Structure 1
Amino acid sequence: MHEDRAQHEPGVLNPELDAALRQHARRRLLGRGEQLYAFGSVPDALFCVEEGVLRLSVTSPEGRESVLSMVTQNQWFGEASLFSGEPRGNDAMAIVASAVLIVPAAAVHQLVDHRPDFLLQFLAMMGRRYRMILSRMDDTVLRPLPARLAREVLQAHGRELAAAGPHHPVTLRFSQEEMSQMLGASRQSINRLLKQWERGGAIEVAYRSLTVLDPEALRLLTERDEG
């Protein structure tokens, strides 16, 4: 299953490289709202979420925050700045109590020097991230909000299933404010859609969480809005 995930999901590496990196990692615990690193900081490590969820975001000079992505269990991140040598291009913050694995930059470079094929794995992972960003940009321009929101919920649902194993229903850590920032929509619009889907039996909404009851209903929503 891990091999299949590495072929499709941003942040997931093949088992051999994943295991090699973990041998050099130290573990850091983060409380909810605690920052892992800040925009402009030195790229001195590679990171992996062991437990919890981290938010990657940027903030405009006017103070408006835009969420780039949520990083979940067993996903690596921070590789772009690590290899380019440029300062971090975003903030990283835990949105729930989390545990993060930290691999020093020197250890990453040493692994790549001894195993050039590992570098290809990192390049493939960066390519998946780039494709995800382009897809999200296309969605913002071409697809209506219901389809975009349903897609984000389904993707989070799929990640949770892959990490925890197949079980139903799946409960996701979910913030309407963060989702509105990610999709470029108002919080009121997100709330209205969630309530509508809840009445239809597709999901159940609670404080900072969302339970997927009927994934197929959400999938049909995306297909209907595409058509």
Structure 2
Amino acid sequence: MSIALDALQHCPLFAGFPEAALDEAARHARIRHFQPGEVIYEKGEPQTFLCVIARGMVRINSVNQEGRESVLIVFDQGAWVGDAVFAPGADRVYGATAHTQATLVELPGAYFRDLMSRYPQCYPVVLECISRRLWSAMTVIQEDALRGTTVRIGRRLLFLCDMQRGGAEPGGPVTVRLTREHIANMMGMTRQGVHRTLKQFQREGLVELGYGQVTICSEDALRRYLDCCPD
């Protein structure tokens, strides 16, 4: 099986397409390889393609005039980036950089939109994927505005679970391959503050901490804990 076809089959965004559409899309795809830290596309560029992560991880970021990077989210294998293809003519709102060595499957935006129009049975799944991503982002914004540190970090971990799960179903442990520095940068917090909260979660049996990664043992257990948290 080709890299492109395998990646499309395991990407939730393409779950509503029949096999014939996936075979066709794989033939139109371009495979690109990136080294860690290599720019995939920059903020402000015209959108031209949709990317599915076949291997590795990609971070969505914004860089200010001084060159300081703000990490917004990191996507794992099986996820897609380049939502701007759903708004033809719009420029990229954020940039994308290879977080690890990564292989991407690229589809031209115009071709992907045409594929959807020819296989309209895909629309419920595509809309659900986009809505779920929007709902997750809005939840993070709400928690950041209204809740304390413990809940903010816990909810962000749940958001990262959703983004880094790829095509796997919820239920089992999810490993978020980010350092404490990355999480702190993402949330505008200090590394020490993030570390204290993660150690608290570890004592409660909610997470396991490893080098450059955090494993959420049970999303449901963490969610129940946060629901009872006073802050």
TM-score higher than 0.5: yes
**1:15 alignment partner in structure 2:** 15
Matching residue of 2:5: none
Aligned counterpart, 2:179: 175
CA distance in 2, matches of 1:168, 1:15: 21
Q: Closer, same or farther in 2 for the Cα pair 1:211/1:133, shift >3 Å?
A: closer
Counterpart mapping for 1:34-183 below 5 A: 34-81=38-85, 83-116=87-120, 118=122, 122-157=126-161, 163=167, 170-183=174-187
Identity of aligned residues (%): 29
**Aligned partner of 2:15: which letter?**
P
- Give the number of aligned pairs: 217
Q: 1:128 to 1:187 in 2, by over 3 A?
A: same
Instruction: State the 1:124 CA deviation.
Output: 4.5
Q: Contact 1:40 / 1:89 at 8 angstroms: preserved in 2?
A: yes
| Secondary structure of residue in 2 paired with 1:36 | strand
User: Deviation of residue 45 (structure 1)?
Assistant: 0.6
CA distance in 2, matches of 1:112, 1:181: 37
The alpha-carbon distance between structure 1 residues 46 and 160, as it changes in their structure 2 partners (threshold 3 A), is closer
Query: What is the RMSD of the two structures over their aligned residues, measured on CA atoms?
Result: 3.1
- TM-score with structure 2 length normalisation? 0.76
**Structure 1 position 193, deviation (Å):** 1.2
Partner AA of 2:40 in structure 1: L
Give the 3 Å change call, closer, same or farther, for CA 169–125 of structure 1 in structure 2. closer
The answer to whether the 8 Å contact 2:79/2:167 transfers is no
After superposition, the Cα gap between the structure-2 partners of 1:15 and 1:180, relative to the gap in structure 1 and judged at 3 Å, is same
**Paired letter, 1:35:** V
Q: Which runs of 5+ in 2 are unaligned?
A: 1-10
Q: Which letter maps to 2:75?
A: V
Residues 212 and 124 of structure 1: is their aligned pair in 2 closer, same or farther, counting only changes over 3 Å? closer
Relative distance call for 1:29 and 1:144 in structure 2 (3 A) is same
Compute the displacement of 1:210 (Å): 1.9
Per the alignment, in what secondary structure is the counterpart of residue 12 of structure 2? coil
Match of 1:6 in 2: none
Three-state SS of the structure 1 residue aligned to 2:228 is helix
Alpha-carbon distance between aligned partners in 1 of 2:192 and 2:107, rounded to the nearest angstrom = 40
Relative to structure 1, the CA distance from residue 122 to residue 200 in structure 2 (aligned partners, 3 Å threshold; closer, same or farther) is closer
Provide the rounded CA distance (Å) in 1 between the counterparts of 2:208 and 2:127. 38
Q: Counterpart amino acid of 2:149?
A: L
1:7 match: none
TM-score with structure 1 length normalisation? 0.77
Partner of 1:8: none
Q: Shift in Å at residue 42 of structure 1? A: 2.3
Q: Structure 1 residue 223 and structure 2 residue 227: aligned?
A: yes
